[in-house]
Structure 1
Amino acid sequence: MPETMVSSPGTQSGVKTGQRVHVPGEAGLWVFILGDMTLFGCFFAQFVFARGSQTQLFNASRSELHIAFGAFNTCLLLTGSLFVVWAVEAIRRGRPTAARRWITVGAVTGVWFLVDKSIEWGLEISRGITPITNDFFTYFFVFTGIHAVHVTIGLCVLAYLRRLTRRPGLGPRDLHTFESGAVYWHLVDLLWIVLFALLYLMA
C-alpha cells in the first residue's frame, strides 16, 4: 500500500511555512493538560509542605526506596517519548508503517514501566511497607498509583494511534489526533520526572 503524505495546517511536507505557528494537537486537550498539571501541582505542593514538617521521617523513608527502579523507569519513559516523537514525524512525512513501528516500541517502554513499578511495589510490600506505614509512603503509593493510571491510559492512546496508522489516506485531521496522543504521552513523561525528583532525589 503506498504511503500518503500528511501535512498539517501551516506546514508542507512536515515543515512549517510562513508566519503561522502550528500548535500540535487539539485545543481541548491542552485545556485538559492544564487542568491535570494544576491538580498535580497541588499534590506536589502538599507533598513539599508535609515534608517540611516531617523532614527527618521523609528522608529516612526515602532512603528505603530503591533508586534504581525510579531511574530505570525514568529512562524508559524518556526513551518512549523519543520513539513517539519519531512516530509523529513519520506520520508528517507520510510514512505510516514507520510510525506504527515507533509507536509499538514506545508502547513497549510503557508496559515495561508498569512491570518495573509493580515489582518495586511488590518488594516494598514484602518488606512490610504499605500506604499506611507513614505519610511519606502514603504519598509514594498514591502518587505513583495515580501516575500508573495515567500510563495505562497512555498505552490505550498509543494502541489507538497504532490502529490509526493502518487507515488509508491519512489527512490533517488524523495528524491532529496523532499529535494529541503524543502530547498526552509527553505529559505522562513530564509528571514522572517531577515525581522521580520529589520521591527519590529530594533531600
Structure 2
Amino acid sequence: MCTSAEPSELCRGHLPGDLAMWFFILAELSVFAILILAFTVTQALKPQMFSDSRLLLATSTGLAMTLSLVTAGLFAALAQARVRRSRPRHGAVFLWLALLAASVYVVLKVTEYRHLLASGLGMEHNTFFTLYWILTGFHFLHVLLGMFILGWLAERCRRGLYDAANHNGFECGVLYWHMVDLVWVVLFPLVYVLN
C-alpha cells in the first residue's frame, strides 16, 4: 500500500532504471547462464573430478565473499532508498559502505587466485579449474566494473546531482550491481558447494 511519503512512480509499480539497462542485464545474464550450463553439464559428465577439485577450494572463503557482496547490495539498496527521498548525500555514505564491503570480496578473491596459482591449480589443471577460472574471472571483472559504477554514483550523490525526481541513471547503476550480486549467489553454491 502506498503512502504519501513514497514517490509516485513506486506507487504505480514503476520498473527501476530504464529499458535499455534491463536489456543489457538480460544479455549479461544470458552469457552467465551459458557458462553456468556448461559448468553443470560438464560436472554431470565428470562428477568425480569436480568433487575432488571442489575440495581444493575453501568454502569458508566463498561464503565470506558471498556475505561481502550481499552486504554491498544491501548498502546499495539503502542508498537508492535515500536518493528516492531526495537525500543523495546520505545515499553517498551508503554507497561508500557498499564499496568497502565489495573491497572485501576483491581482497579475498585475489588472495584465493594467488593461492590457487601458487598451488599449480591454474586454468590448464583440469576441466573443473578451466571452468572455475572462466566463470569466476568473468564475474570478477563485473565486480570491478560495478565498483567503478558505485564510486561514480557516490560522487554524483555527494554533489547532490540526484533527487526524487531525477534518479533514473542512479537506479541503472544500482541495478547493475544487483545483477552482479545475483550472479554470485548462484555461482557460490555451484562452484564451492554442490556435488
Please give the TM-score of this superposition, normalised by the length of structure 2.
Answer: 0.93
Give yes or no for the alignment of 1:36 onto 2:24.
no
Q: Distance in 2 between matches of 1:202 and 1:167?
A: 45
SS in 2 for 1:65: coil
Confirm or deny that 1:65 pairs with 2:57: yes
Change (3 A) 1:18 1:141: closer
Matched, 1:158 2:132: no
**Contact preservation (8 Å) 2:88, 2:160:** no
Give the structure with the larger helix fraction.
2
The code of the aligned residue for 2:26 comes to L
Give the drift of 1:20: 2.4
Partner of 1:47: 39
Q: Which residue is equivalent to 1:96?
A: 88
> SS state of the match for residue 104, structure 2?
helix
Q: Do residues 186 (structure 1) and 178 (structure 2) align?
A: yes
Structure 2 residue aligned with 1:3: none
Moved segments of 4+, more than 2 Å: 10-20, 166-174
Offset, 1:117: 0.1
CA contact (8 A) 1:90 1:98 kept: yes
TM score, norm. by length of structure 1: 0.89
Q: How far 1:111 moved relative to its partner?
A: 1.6
Show CA shifts across 1:102-134 (max 9, x none).
Answer: 000101111221111000111111111111000
Q: State how 1:1-203 maps to structure 2 within 5 Å.
A: 13-16=5-8, 20-168=12-160, 170-171=162-163, 174-203=166-195
Distance 1:119 1:46 in 2: 26
8 A contact 1:14–1:89 mirrored in 2:
no
Superposition deviation, residue 174 in structure 1: 3.6
Maintained 8 Å contact 1:13/1:92: no
Letter in 1 for 2:174: A
* Identity of matched residues, %: 31
Q: Aligned partners of 2:141 and 2:103: how far apart in 1?
A: 12
In structure 2, relative to structure 1, the CA distance for the partners of 1:11 and 1:141 (3 Å cut) is farther
* Shift in Å, 1:166: 2.9
- Secondary structure in 1 matching 2:158: coil
Q: Note the C-alpha offset of 1:170.
A: 3.3
Instruction: Tell me the distance in 1 between the aligned counterparts of 2:153 and 2:3.
Output: 21
Distance 1:112-1:17 versus aligned 2 partners, 3 A rule: closer
RMSD of Structure 2 on Structure 1 (CA) = 1.9
Per the alignment, do residues 181 and 17 of structure 1 end up closer, same or farther by CA in structure 2, a change over 3 Å counting? Answer: closer
Once the two structures are overlaid, the 10-residue window that deviates more, 63-72 or 172-181, is 172-181
